[in-house]
Structure 1
Amino acid sequence: MYVDLVSAIQERGVFLTHPKIAIIGGSTISEVLARQVVKVLPVENFIPLYGMTEGAPFFAASVEDDKEQCIQNVGKAVNGIELKVVDKEGRMVPIGTPGELWARGFCVMKGYWNDEEKTRETITKDGWLKTGDQVTLQSDGIGKVVGRIKEAIIRGSDNIYPKEVEEFFLEHPDVVDVQAFGVPDARWTEEVCVYIRPREGSKLDEQHMKYFCKGKVSTPNHVNLVFVISYRVST
């Protein structure tokens, strides 16, 4: 919604004066898009919220919070729940270190309806909900989503997180939206595919995007990026 709203305002060359607050929830938002929302709409307050269907909210910002902090993070841990960031073995990692976010408290569901196996996979015996999101947690309770563990692209022995790839391509001025995901590969099991929605009127192509990556992307084992560029067609 915010991608389309920002694009429509820029394409029409209009200027809004009345928006007060932009609230982000239901999905993570890139820092690039967050800054566009603040600049283009423009809004006085940018309020991120973080949670999931299985439990919400875990993090929330308020109008008193620093705008720059809200752009870069998903708010502060809410009162009354427990949060921790763990490694693959479920051991807590040091403050500020990326890991999977686990949550426990009154806002966490009891389980999936008529699906005990899925419930056991998602909620530990002592009540911790495994979110599947890669997060960093600061000592003051501020959280930042840095990746999606469940959507990690497994290329050989390397884990590639789509969010990191998407954030990079969104820095291009003619890229409106982007999704990165894995596609089957006979040698590496998965290769990285990047689906790009360019700004209307631009002339992006695969060769241009590869040139844009040159010298800027550190990729393991010479990753071969597959580009799909989709232009909207007016009817």
Structure 2
Amino acid sequence: MRIDIISVVPKLMESFFAHSILKRGQEAGHVEVVLHDLRDYSVNKHRQVDDYAFGGGAGMVLGIEPIARCIRALQSERTYDEVIYMTPDGETFNQRIANQLSLGGNLIFLCGHYKGVDQRVRDLFITREISIGDYVLSGGELAAAVCADAIIRLLPGVLNDETSALTDSFQDNLLAPPVYTRPAEFEGSKVPEILLSGHEAKITDWRFSQAIERTRTRRPDLLEGME
């Protein structure tokens, strides 16, 4: 998979993709993440990419020309499954969407900034609009990084244990069960005996029942479609 991220502040994301699982995934060749500075596609010598909104009002708007140049340059080199705009009014990102996007080959993420982008960008170039929650950030960079992380960890070979992602929260509409590690007892608080039993089938049953109970208590809305 290749993920291209278009931003006015790409350096903000460099560190995010340079460590841990995301770094290993790139080094192993499972994914390529390319950050693009929108100012490199500016149409004027001052590298300006924003302007005042027609009709007045506070805040600046990212113009269509540099964005069109960047997206078209990328699309001339390869085919993209989705061109995604990160925006508070997009569909709310969840594990189902992450699973869908992880099956693709190439993705573009466009990060909004200021008061957003010229509506014509959304009309002409964007194939999907995504939000990570009902709040507003200074820009779409953190949101794009969150989505990319959730997608990349699902790619075959990225995680050392490929079954790990399948037991994460929200897979099968369940929250993950509690987990424990050594020591088996800490200040009188003990690990459940079943986890020390070595009985794989009983441990699996226990974890499933715990996942159901945790979901019922904390996110009962996730169980509505299962019951």
After TM superposition, the score normalised by the length of structure 1 is 0.25
Computing the radius of gyration from Cα coordinates, the structure with the larger value is 2
Query: When you count strand as a share of all residues, which structure comes out higher?
Result: 1
Query: When you count helix as a share of all residues, which structure comes out higher?
Result: 2
- Structure number with greater CO (CA < 8 Å, separation at least 6) is 2
